[in-house]
Amino acid sequence: MERAALLGMAGLLPRMVSARKAVSYHQNQIHALPVVISTWRHGIPSNVAAMKVLEKGGSVLDAVEQGVRVPEGDPANHSVGLGGFPDRDGHVTLDASIMGPDGNAGSVCFLEGIVHPISVARKVMEETPHVMLSGDGALQFALQKGFKKTDLLTPAAKQKWQQWRQKHKYHPEINWENKPNEYHDTIGMLALDKNGDMAGACTTSGLAFKLHGRVGDSPIIGAGLYVDNAVGGATSTGMGELVMKTVGSFLVTELMRQGRSPQQACEEAVLRIVEKIPDNKNFQVGYLAMNKQGETGAYSLRKGFNYALYRDKQNRLLDARSYYTF
């Protein structure tokens, strides 16, 4: 790839592109596929796991599943899987969704007691005629498929919940998810393999200390995640209610279908939130998008959203631009 990049800079780009399918344009450079992009700092190790699958020739669906399983299994991560902060009644309830290049989709929501909801979502997609299973039904299905029931409420998460209960407040903070080593939000991931096929995954324990029964955007196909292998895909993080009300990831993908770049599409979807939900001052939303050429976009409502982009053998943490400068 380094050789390809040098040739591109030397003005030989068009010939390289016609000679190699697995090369795409990005900001006037060429990049080799595969590409993996995911939300927040926890995207860095997640991208590594996904890229490992792709480099070994594994499927793009395996890549996104393995990628997001990293934060799901990390008890130090308090917004995904094991160790996630509970709802205000002390239950850790998980939401996850997955989409493959064939347009198939699976999801679980309000699922308790399973460390890897993304893998249950994949089983829903591949082994049932349904798209979404919820709550006890999702748990029953997972147990039938051999998943083990685990107590997801770690001592550290329980302590935070007890502190929160003492204050009796219900005010989600802006970017609470981005406090280093303490909180992170949803992981949403998009991967494009060397053949240009895309898959996506999204998984979360949702908003900390939410009302019992609350489900966010992450398991809602078209809200927290959407992939159309003819166009590209998008995923979201932040306050799921704002994303659901604007069907964010589907909107971003459809805007790309109409010709917007991934960056333009993310910006327009954030603008839609600003226009339709003006009372947004306490909330953050971040979008990531990627098109079939491997171009990527990232944009958020407020400052502080970062993401991990693994391409051209580099896995980097980048800051997204935002609508508001605060």
Task: Tell me whether residue 43 or residue 206 sits nearer to ligand GLY (CB atom).
Answer: 206
100 belongs to the binding site for ligand GLY (CB under 6 A): no
233 belongs to the binding site for ligand GLY (CB under 6 A): no
Q: Which stretch binds ligand GLY (CB under 6 A): 1-9, 13-21, 155-163, 233-241?
A: 233-241
Q: Which stretch binds ligand GLY (CB under 6 A): 138-146, 166-174, 211-219, 264-272?
A: 211-219
218 belongs to the binding site for ligand GLY (CB under 6 A): yes
CB of 86 to ligand GLY, least distance (A): 13
Question: What six digits make up the tokens of 59?
Answer: 């499927």
- Round to whole Å and give the CA distance between 19 and 178: 42
CB neighbours of residue 95 within 10 Å? 29
Out of 186, 204, 246, 296, the active site residue is 186
Task: Tell me whether residue 4 or residue 92 sits nearer to ligand GLY (CB atom).
Answer: 92
Q: Which stretch binds ligand GLY (CB under 6 A): 100-108, 237-245, 268-276, 308-316?
A: 237-245
CB of 11 to ligand GLY, least distance (A): 44
Task: Tell me whether residue 92 or residue 239 sits nearer to ligand GLY (CB atom).
Answer: 239
- Round to whole Å and give the CA distance between 306 and 291: 19
Q: Is 246 tagged catalytic?
A: no
Task: Tell me whether residue 232 or residue 238 sits nearer to ligand GLY (CB atom).
Answer: 238
Question: What is the chain's alpha carbon radius of gyration, rounded to the nearest angstrom?
Answer: 19
| Nearest to 290, CA basis, from 222, 155, 207, 189 | 189
107 belongs to the binding site for ligand GLY (CB under 6 A): no
CA distances from 86 to 38, 71, 80 (A): 23, 16, 11
CA distances from 124 to 132, 140, 141, 255, 291 (A): 7, 12, 8, 29, 26
Give the length of the chain. 326
One residue of 196, 238, 262, 286 binding ligand GLY per CB under 6 A? 238
- Strands across the sheet containing 296-300: 225-228, 232-238, 285-291, 296-300, 321-322
Q: Mask of contacts with ligand GLY, 165-204, x by CB under 6 A?
A: ---------------------x-----------------x
Number of residues located near ligand GLY, criterion CB under 6 A: 11
Nearest residue by C-beta to ligand GLY? 216
216 belongs to the binding site for ligand GLY (CB under 6 A): yes
- Round to whole Å and give the CA distance between 63 and 157: 29
Task: Tell me whether residue 237 or residue 263 sits nearer to ligand GLY (CB atom).
Answer: 237
Task: Tell me whether residue 61 or residue 96 sits nearer to ligand GLY (CB atom).
Answer: 96
- Round to whole Å and give the CA distance between 142 and 187: 21
CB of 149 to ligand GLY, least distance (A): 22
| Nearest to 204, CA basis, from 160, 163, 243, 255 | 243
239 belongs to the binding site for ligand GLY (CB under 6 A): yes
- The sign of the dihedral angle between the CA atoms of 81, 82, 85, 89 is positive
Annotate 29-56 with b (16+ C-beta within 10 A) or e (fewer): ebbbbbbbbbbbbbbbbbbbbbbebbee
One residue of 71, 86, 113, 240 binding ligand GLY per CB under 6 A? 240
Task: Tell me whether residue 119 or residue 236 sits nearer to ligand GLY (CB atom).
Answer: 236
Q: Which residues are catalytic?
A: 186
- Residues in touch with ligand GLY (CB under 6 A): 186, 204, 206-207, 216-218, 237-240
